[in-house]
Amino acid sequence: MRRTLISALITLSLSAAAFAAEDIHKVNGTASVDAGQHAGDVSTVNGSVRIGDKAVVEKASTVNGSVELGDGATANEVNTVNGGVSLGQNAQVSGELENVNGRVKLEKGAGVKGHLTNVNGDITLDHAHVGGGIETVNANITVGDSSKVEGGILVKKPKMSWNSGDSRPPTIIIGPHAVVTGTMTFEREVQLYVSDSATVGKIEGATAKKFSGSAP
């Protein structure tokens, strides 16, 4: 009887694992995971990826579309090309978040444990956390109130072959009570504003302009 019960429990566990690992792939449409559900790789081309509140996925990725993680949702990895990324309140990415040509926004309590990278598009943290540093070429970055970035910030010099039609220097704002550990390195001209209540490490390639209040 005991052996039968153990076998049944193992079968149920394997079935649950198989369900959790199910991949979802779409073309020309939205790939979605309902709130509280589990999935493996969730991807689409010419469409968006929407992960419901408290859902769990291995990877969320799209080309020509956005990725949305609902409140409390988790993913191991997020990738987008030509589309934005939004992480709802307390949503978590345990690995890297990579984005090309799109806005990235982390809501209150959201976090990316790995590296956050993009090329074009604003990056905004609102009481959020990035554990592996931020890297960009053309993005405006706002490390908002009480947010934290570990591993520094790197703004890379654009390649000569890139022509975005916009030569304005990116604006980097380190907001009130925000913390940036590691070096902030700027390989191109930027406008850098640091709150008088923020804590930052070494700065290379730019001179910080101090401000008080909620924004410069």
CB 193 within 8 A of CB 212: no
Q: What pLDDT, in 10s, does the model give residues 85-97?
A: 999 999 999 999 9
Instruction: Tell me the whole-structure pTM to 2 decimals.
Output: 0.88
Q: Which residues pair with 130 in a beta bridge?
A: 112, 149
Least confident range from 3-17, 57-71, 103-117: namely 3-17
In tens, the pLDDT along 86-127 reads 999 999 999 999 999 999 999 999 999 999 999 999 999 999
133-186 pLDDT, tens digit per residue, is 999 999 999 999 999 999 999 999 998 654 444 578 999 999 999 999 999 999
Distance CA 28, CA 51 (A): 17
pLDDT computed for residue 21 by the predictor: 58
Cβ proximity of 31 and 16 under 8 Å: no
User: Phi/psi zone of residue 150: left (φ > 0), alpha (ψ -120 to 50 degrees), beta?
Assistant: beta
Instruction: Tell me how far CA of residue 77 lies from CA of 34, 57, 94, 140, 192, in angstroms.
Output: 18, 9, 7, 23, 29
Q: Which two tokens stand for residue 160?
A: 């000569």
- The neighbour count for residue 51, using CB atoms within 10 Å, is 28
